[in-house]
Chain A
Amino acid sequence: MARASTTQRKAVVTVCAWAVGLVIFFPILWTILTSFKSEVDAIAIPPKFLNFNWTLDNYHDVQERSRYFLHFMNSVIISLGSTILALIIAIPAAWSMAFVPGRRTKDILMWMLSTKMLPAVGVLVPIYLIFRDFGLLDTRTGLIIVLTMMNLPIVVWMLYTYFKEIPGEILEAARMDGATLSKEIIYILTPMAVPGIASTLLLNVILSWNEAFWTLNLTAANSAPLSAFIASYSSPEGLFYAKLSAASTMAIAPILILGWFSQKQLVRGLTFGAVK
């Protein structure tokens, strides 16, 4: 009896999980399908699911009309650059907060997180003016700086929760065993924190890759990453859904593949500390 109801419950949960998963994934699937349609098929009513003339024309057109590779490289440089810069700042910060906390450490952490609750548009004008005065508009450097600042709170928090899980006694044992601070970091802490640093890096790359507010507002042509490349296919071009879809597919494909192969790391990183 009990076993039957457990099996039943499992079946229901499985069906629900698949349904939610499909609902979430459907827009992406639809974008990918649309990218292979002609513009006429793309706006056909009733919508055509699989029974349309498959074509690669949109990809061809998009390639011809814009410089995908430039935007792709911009995305890579901006997301990796901002992530590495954020890690360089956040590792020592999280280190001191986790292992030598002061009386105000918790407050500082909360304050850092609270900056994420401010709508980004609230600081758009001052940042835009600062960028203009310093000649940072439409530069990769400018975007790296602004995305580093945007993601720093999350990076510090993630690393902090990771480091908190490393028992202080192990570091003390290393100290007793004669390790200096640098050796303690190289031989004990870093190897133990590698999974945490890796998942933080992955998540931050994805966040930076997908970031659209700052990349759209602070770039024009030269430093525009893929998010701006997609946007360039939306309003000014009118109703070119198929081309827009092709551009979107090309923009999200790299990060989707990266996310797919690293999903185990990502889930572990995000739930670390919450689930033991």
Chain B
Amino acid sequence: MGQIELKGVAKRFGDAEVIPPLDLKIEDGEFVVFVGPSGCGKSTLLRLIAGLEDVSGGKIEIDGRDATAERPAQRGLAMVFQSYALYPHMSVRKNIAFPLKMAKVPQAEIDAKVNNAAEILNLASYIDRRPGQLSGGQRQRVAIGRAIVRNPQAFLFDEPLSNLDAALRVNMRLEITELHNTLKTTMIYVTHDQVEAMTMADKIVVLQAGKIEQVGSPLDLYNHPKNRFVAGFIGSPKMNFMTGAEAAKHDAHEIGFRPEHIAVGETGDWKGKVTVSEHLGSDTFLHVDTEFGIINVRANGNVDVHHGDTIWMTPDRSKVHRFDAAGNTL
């Protein structure tokens, strides 16, 4: 079981309120991603759950038990750090065995569990090496191995992939998702990368300045953002926002169209000049200078336009996102 509930949890550092009181419920077995721009408090929130920081107010319940005052190890949670935080003076085997050793597990059982974790994560071939002799991806696997052996009620990941190169990141993303499918243990994953959030999460928690902006499934956030911030943060390339006459047409203070909901053609509603065209083969990203400012367009396949070309664009007006003056979705 790994149900985690935050009730009015708040954090202050001195006079600065990093996280105003917030409530959040994470169901057993869920893969929850905390996402937000850097400095939004997502890592702090994770550290509060882990017990590495003390809450300034509120309660943390794990499986219905009040864990607010418990030490990190008592909470039954395992954490994977951004820097991997492996013990450099210990072999991979000893690193993975460390939490079991601390829990005074019999040696025979430790060996069995370590071997099992090594098998799941494919690290048997370098089990006797030290962390310094491993690549970034291998280190991350060891860190995950160290988390798995404890059989935790939930895994906490603090931006675990941000130190890896792009190709490896995609691989590890898949591996972590597969791991979740196999173990079915609650996972809380912190990232600033909304692509990671969209691809991995059952539930995304979007944070800004310590405040929860919206909680929902990835597609829910994509299709029905609660406000302008979530609309702008989820989706890549970013949503295009417009005010003024264009917004008034839709009876709103501000409107937004996602780049994939704007069609390019010989004629259309808006005229603009292409400043940058990015041809990926599968898609074409255009940055177009218009009377509303720069508009991002995403077209399927290769579209034969280049820097300096004048093009016409037509938004799919059924997919418009409308906001009031406070930035809330209408």
Contact = CB atoms under 8 A, between A and B. Distances in A.
A192 B88 contact: yes
A177 B89 contact: no
Interface in B183-211: none
B57 interface: no
Interface centre among A173, A174, A175, A191 (most CB of B within 10 A): A173
A176 B83 contact: no
B81 A183 contact: no
Contacts of A172: 52, 72, 79, 81, 85
A177 B52 contact: no
Given A167-B85, A192-B89, A175 B52 contact: yes
Interface of B: 50, 52, 71-73, 77-79, 81-83, 85-89, 98-99, 102-103, 146, 150
Given A178-B73, A179-B73, A191-B89, A173 B102 contact: no
Nearest to B88: A192
Contacts of B86: 170, 173
A175 B78 CA distance: 10
Nearest to B149: A177
A212 to B, nearest CB: 39
Nearest to B158: A169
A13 B286 CA distance: 56
A19 interface: no
A188 interface: yes
Nearest to A168: B85
A170 B102 contact: no
A176 B72 contact: yes
B103 A188 contact: no
Given A176-B78, A178-B99, A178-B103, A169 B73 contact: no
Contacts of A177: 73, 98-99, 102, 146, 150
Interface residues of A, number: 16
16 contacts: A169-B82, A172-B52, A172-B85, A173-B79, A173-B146, A174-B87, A174-B98, A175-B52, A175-B73, A176-B78, A177-B102, A178-B73, A179-B73, A183-B102, A191-B89, A192-B87
A133 to B, nearest CB: 46
Given A167-B85, A169-B82, A173-B87, 11 more contacts: A167-B83, A169-B85, A170-B86, A173-B85, A174-B98, A175-B52, A175-B73, A176-B99, A177-B98, A177-B99, A178-B102
Interface in A161-213: 167, 169-170, 172-179, 183, 187-188, 191-192
Contacts of B77: 176
Nearest to A166: B88
Contacts of B72: 172, 175-176
Contacts of A173: 79, 81, 85-87, 146
A137 to B, nearest CB: 46
A187 B102 CA distance: 10
Contacts of B83: 167, 169
A174 B82 CA distance: 15
Counting from the closest, the 5 A-B pairs by CB-CB distance are A178-B73, A178-B102, A177-B99, A173-B85, A169-B85
A13 B62 CA distance: 65
A176 B87 CA distance: 13
B50 A179 contact: no
B201 to A, nearest CB: 23
A179 to B, nearest CB: 5
A191 B102 CA distance: 16
B62 to A, nearest CB: 14
Contacts of B50: 176
Nearest to A183: B102
A176 B73 contact: yes
Nearest to A172: B52
Contacts of A187: 98
Interface string A83-125: 0000000000000000000000000000000000000000000
B84 to A, nearest CB: 8
Contacts of A170: 85-88
Contacts of A188: 87
